[in-house]
Structure 1
C-alpha cells in the first residue's frame, strides 16, 4: 500500500488539466514510465489531435481496464491544494477523480500472476468528453468479455451500474439588426426568438423518465441600441435510455421559429450514449460475490447522472462495470479526498474481478 500511495502522490503532483496539451503530455510521460516500471513492458503511446493516451495490451484483450489521467484542475492548483495524507484521508487535485483509480489499476494489474488477456487504456481527454479518444476506447473494447472503469465510486463507496447519456447542443438564432430607437419594427429580434425557443427546449425534459434538458450559457445582441441579429444558447441533456436520447434529439431539431424572418440552427447532438444497468448487472453480481468471498466491505450498485468513458463501452454492447476506483468524495471541488483504508480493498476487488473474468469468460460464464 505504501508503494501505491507513493505512485498516487507522483500522479497527483504531475498536474494534467485536459485543455493543456503540454501538461497532459508530461503526465502521459509519467504514466508510461510508471507502468513500464511496474509491468516491465513499455506501452503504446497514442497521440490523437495532440492529446496523449497510453495503452498496454497483454495478448489479445479480454478484459479492458479503463482509466484517464487528465483532470479539471488548472496548473498551479497543487500549490494551493497540496498533496496530503494523514493516514486516514488523502487529498490533492485529481486524487478522487481519478488518479487514485489509475494508481489502483496499475497495482492490481502488476500483482497478477498472469496478465495475458488484460488491456489497460489510460486516456488524456475524458474530462472534455473524450473527443479524441472515443474511437480508440470503442475499438479497444470490442471483443472484450468485460470492461472495468476506474472512475471514483459513488456516495458511500457504491459501484456505478448505470450512467445517464449526454447530449450537448448549441442553438443559434438569426434575426435582423435595426436601430432599437428609430426603427425597431424593421428588425427581427433574435434574443426574443431565442427566448421562445429556450422555453420550448426546456419543456422537453421528462421527470418521470429521468430526462433533464437544461439550457445553460446564453448570449445575444451586440449593442444596447441595436435589435439583436443573433443569439445563441447551449443545452445540456441527460437521459437514462437511448430511446429518450433519440426523442429529445428529434424534437429539438423540429422546433420552428415563432417570429417571421427568424431562423434557427441546431448544432451538436449525442456525446455519450447512456450506460443502462443491464450492461453492468452480471458483472455487479460477480463483484458482490467476490467481495463476500474476500470479506471486503459491502457496497451498493447505483445509477448516476454523470457520464464516463464507460458509456461508450456499454453503448457498443460490452459488459461494463464502473466506479471501481477511489472511495471518498468531492470530485471537481476543493474538498476532493480519498479514504486511504479503502485503497487496498478496492485494488483487491479489481484484481479479483480481472482474474475471475479471465478464468471463466463472459459474465454469464461462457468464453466470448
Structure 2
C-alpha cells in the first residue's frame, strides 16, 4: 500500500493540463519512470501532434488484453497550490487524483503481479480530456483483436463499474447573414442572431428524453456591436445517446438543418466523437469481475450507466469487450472535492490483476474470450 500511495503522490505532483504539451510530456516521463521501476520495462514513447502517449507491450504475439488510461487532466497549472496533495483520514486528495492518475498507477501495479504478461498491453494517453483527438487511432490500433479492454477511469458512485456509457457527438452550427445599420436600415440586413435562434430551437427539438437522448445547445455567440444587425452567429451542440441508432438519427437531422430566414446560410460541422459503450460490450466481463470479487473477498460489485464518455467508448465501438470504471473509488472528478478512498486502492488493484490474469489464461475453442473457463471457475 505504501508504494502504491507514494507512486500516486509522485504522479499527482506532476501537473499535466491537457492543453500544455510540455507539461504532458513531463508527466509522461514520470509515468515512464514509475513503469520502469514497477514493471522492469520501458514503454514506447509515441508523440502525435505534439502529445506524448506511452505504450507497454509484453510478449511477441498480438495484444489480447489492453489496460487503458490517460495521464492528462483538466486542472490548470498552479492547482497544487489551491488543491494540495494530501492523505488524511483515509482519503487522498489532489488535482487529477480521481480522474485518473490513481488509475494509471493501479494499472502498473496490477500488471506487475500478473505472472505471465504475454499478450498484455498498457496504453496511457495524453489527450483524453480533450476528446482524444491525437490518440484515437492509437487506441484503436492497440485494441484491435483484443479479448478484453479494461479501462482505468474512476468508478461510479459507491465503486460501481461503468458498464454502459452514452455516445457523444459535437457539432457547431454557423449562420451567415448580412450586416446593416440597426437604426438606419435594419430591413436591409439578414439577422444571423434571429436565424441562430431558429436553429437552436430546431436542434433542441431533436432530443428524445424517453430514449435518453440529449441534444443540448451550449455556447452561443452572435453580432459585433449593439447598433449592427448581426452578420454571423454560431452555437455549439452537445449530443449524448445510449445507442448507435439514436446517434445516427441525430447526426442525419443535424446535417439536414436548413435556414428559416431568406438569404441566411446555415453550415453544420463536427459529428460523432465517441460511439456508445452499450451494455452488451461489458456484460461478460462484468460477470467475471463479480465472480472474482466474491472469490477475493472484496464484496459485491455493482454496475452503473453514465452519461459521460471515455476511451472505452472507442474500444467498445470496435466490438472489443470492454469494462470501464476499474480505477479509483471516490468522487469529485473535475471538482474541488476530488478525492480517492485509500482503503479501496489495493482492493481494486487486486481485482484488476485477477481480471487480466484470467482473460490471458482462458480462451474459448474458437479463440474468443471465455473469461470463466470451460468449468465456469475463474482462475485466481
Task: Report TM bin, short chain.
Answer: over 0.9
- Tell me the equivalent position of 2:370: 364
**Structure 2 counterpart of 1:16:** 16
Within 2, Cα distance between the matches of 1:12 and 1:297?
29
Give, in whole Å, the separation in 1 of the partners of 2:198 and 2:213.
21
Q: How many angstroms apart in 2 are the aligned matches of 1:103 and 1:87? A: 21
Q: Which moved more, 1:296-305 or 1:191-200?
A: 296-305
Gaps of 5+ in 1: none
1:44-99: CA deviation from partner (whole Å, max 9, x where unpaired): 00000000000000023110000100000001101111100025100000010001
Give the stretch that moved more between structures: 295-304 or 258-267: 295-304
User: Residue 209 of structure 2 aligns to a residue in which SS?
Assistant: coil
C-alpha contact 2:196 2:234 (8 A) present in aligned 1 = yes
1:325-362 per-residue CA deviation (whole Å, 9 max, x = no partner) reads 00000000010000000001100000000011011134
Q: Is the 8 A contact 1:87 1:340 kept in 2?
A: no
For residues 16-67 of structure 1, give each alpha carbon's deviation from its aligned partner in whole angstroms, at most 9, with x where no partner exists: 0000111000000111111111111111000000000000000231100001
Contact 1:66–1:147 (8 Å) recurs in 2: yes
**SS of the residue aligned with 1:208?**
helix
Distance 1:159 1:128 in 2: 23
Instruction: After TM superposition, give the deviation of residue 364 of structure 1 in Å.
Output: 3.4
1:346 to 345, 348, 371: 348
Could you say which residue in structure 1 is the equivalent of 2:129? 127
Paired residues in the alignment total 367
In the TM superposition, 1:1-368 aligns within 5 A as 1-59=1-59, 60-361=62-363, 362-365=368-371
* Mean CA deviation greater in 33-42 or 17-26: 33-42
Q: Distance in 2 between matches of 1:239 and 1:58?
A: 36
Contact 1:282–1:363 under 8 Å retained in 2: no
Give secondary structure in 1 for the equivalent of 2:228. Answer: coil
The runs of at least 4 consecutive aligned structure 1 residues that moved more than 4 Å come to none
CA positional deviation for 1:366: 9.5
- Name the SS for the 1:171 alignment partner: strand
Q: Deviations over 1:240-299 (max 9, x none)?
A: 011101000101111211100001000100010100010000000000000111110222
Please tell me whether the aligned partners of residues 219 and 235 of structure 2 are also in contact (alpha carbons under 8 angstroms): yes
Distance in 1, matches of 2:370 and 2:296, equals: 21
Shift of 1:302: 1.1
Task: Note if contact 1:286-1:363 (Cα within 8 Å) is conserved in structure 2.
Answer: no
Q: Give the Cα separation in 2 of the matches to 1:336 and 1:121.
A: 24
CA drift at 1:363: 4.1
Q: Over the residues paired in the alignment, what is the CA RMSD in angstroms?
A: 1.1
Unaligned runs of 5+ in 2: 374-380
Does the 8 Å contact 2:288/2:371 carry over to 1? no
Secondary structure of the residue aligned to 1:105 is: helix
TM-score relative to the length of structure 1:
0.98
Q: TM-score, normalised by structure 2?
A: 0.95
